[in-house]
């Protein structure tokens, strides 16, 4: 009798079959479906979240970063306001300087120049509102972040998909605090503070909930 016989108890050991409850190699285990190529898919109860890095849960932006982004955006818009103000008022003041004190219509000329200064100031305020709309609305809608948010590593996304908000949602997100600013700015302040009272864990402000958006860290 050969000790190398496959039937001999003293020969080389056979490859044992796995015990009950342990499927053989290459067979998918219970509760863990296999993707093509043998790569296990995610377990049940943890669906992929498209748009977020790695498909996992988003990193909710801290209120400190959001405040920093808002301050930077405020500086950017203040620079625009300053440039527009200087350009508008300088033109009106230049017109007043052209009034001849010895002319019979000097007072009329001064009155017209003063009216032009007031009109220029109103035009500057209107231009600033338009710039603020275009800046916040277009950048958040198309890029997902303003310059301030880019600087501190934040972006605005759709809360359910993680994608860019789009122009419709970004307009809703912009207009709500702007309407609140009509009440001496108190409503706008409350809107920007409202993430502190959000119980969802996403720190969504009232404007975020209305637009179905949230602010996340990159």
Residue 79 has pLDDT above 80, yes or no: yes
Average pLDDT over residues 138-147: 96
User: What pLDDT does 91 receive?
Assistant: 67
More confident residue, 88 or 171: 171
Long-range contacts of 124-130 (CB under 8 A, 24+ apart): 124/81, 124/84, 124/85, 124/88, 124/89, 127/84, 128/77, 128/80, 128/81, 128/84
- Predicted confidence (pLDDT) per residue in 104-129, tens digit: 777 787 777 777 777 777 887 888 88
State the DSSP H helix or E strand holding residue 117, giving kind and residue range, or none if neither. helix 106-138
Residue 186 in this model has a pLDDT that exceeds 50: yes
Q: What is the pLDDT of residue 194?
A: 96
The set of residues, in sequence order, having a beta carbon less than 8 Å from that of 117 and lying 6+ positions away, is 89, 92, 93, 96
Mean pLDDT of 188-198: 94
* Residue 147 Cα distances to 31, 36, 58, 122, 156, angstroms: 46, 43, 21, 26, 12
Of 118-127, 130-139, 184-193, 202-211, the range with the lowest mean pLDDT is 118-127
The confidence score (pLDDT) of residue 76 equals 93
| pLDDT tens column, 85-107 | 787 777 666 666 677 777 777 77
Averaged pLDDT, 180-209: 92
**Phi-psi domain of 37 (left: phi exceeds 0; alpha: psi -120 through 50; beta: other):** left
For residues 171-197, give the mean pLDDT. Answer: 92
């Amino acid at each position: 009798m050969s000790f190398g016989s496959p039937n001999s108890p003293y020969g080389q050991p056979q490859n044992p079959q796995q015990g009950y409850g342990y499927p053989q190699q290459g067979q998918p285990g219970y509760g863990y479906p296999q993707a093509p190529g043998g790569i296990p898919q995610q377990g049940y109860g943890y669906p992929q979240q498209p748009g977020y890095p790695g498909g996992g849960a988003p990193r909710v932006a801290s209120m400190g970063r959001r405040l920093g982004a808002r301050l930077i955006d405020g500086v950017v818009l203040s620079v625009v306001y300053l440039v527009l103000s200087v350009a508008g008022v300088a033109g009106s003041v230049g017109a007043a300087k052209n009034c001849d004190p010895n002319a019979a219509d000097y007072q009329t000329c001064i009155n017209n120049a003063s009216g032009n200064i007031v009109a220029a100031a109103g035009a500057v305020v209107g231009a600033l509102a338009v710039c603020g709309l275009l800046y916040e609305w277009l950048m958040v809608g198309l890029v997902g972040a303003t310059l301030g948010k880019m600087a501190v590593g934040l972006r605005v996304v759709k809360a359910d998909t993680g994608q860019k908000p789009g122009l419709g949602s970004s307009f809703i997100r912009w207009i709500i605090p702007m309407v609140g600013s009509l009440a001496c700015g108190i409503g706008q302040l409350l809107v920007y503070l409202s993430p502190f009272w959000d119980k969802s864990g996403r720190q969504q402000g009232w404007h975020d909930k209305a637009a179905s958006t949230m602010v996340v860290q990159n």
